[in-house]
Amino acid sequence: MRAHLSLEMAIAGQGVILCSAEVVAGDVAAGRLIKVSSLGFQEGGYYLILAEGAPRRKAIRVFRDWIVTHSQSLRQDTPDI
């Protein structure tokens, strides 16, 4: 239930969601969410996804930069959805 609420908040532009690409594939295809990085995690294939326009918000950029930096040892490059 909480994951669904996180997804709805990201779609509404209220934050970001780090989740499996399969969970958000329909929302990405429909343009409700955008994939901001092609980086995936080796254990589970999670992606940083947020609403279109959200990267313009400073707090979103700061979080994105932080998680990319601190997840370096867990990541692998993956193709875009």
Whole-number pLDDT of residue 81? 42
pTM of this structure: 0.50
What gap in Å lies between CA 9 and CA 7, rounded to an integer? 5
Is residue 10 in a domain? yes
How long, in residues, is the chain? 81
The answer as to whether 12 is a domain residue is: yes
Total number of domains in the chain: 1
* Residue 81 belongs to some domain of the structure: no
Judged against a pLDDT cut of 50, whether residue 36 lies above it is answered with: yes
Q: Which domain holds residue 59?
A: 2-76
Which residue did the predictor score with more confidence, 46 or 9? 9
Q: How would you label 19-48 residue by residue, b for 16+ Cβ within 10 Å and e otherwise?
A: bebebbeebbeeebbbbbeebbeeeeebbb
Q: What is the pLDDT of residue 58?
A: 85
Question: What pLDDT, on the 0 to 100 scale, is given for residue 10?
Answer: 86
Q: Is the pLDDT of residue 69 over 50?
A: yes
Q: What does the pLDDT average to over 30-42? A: 75
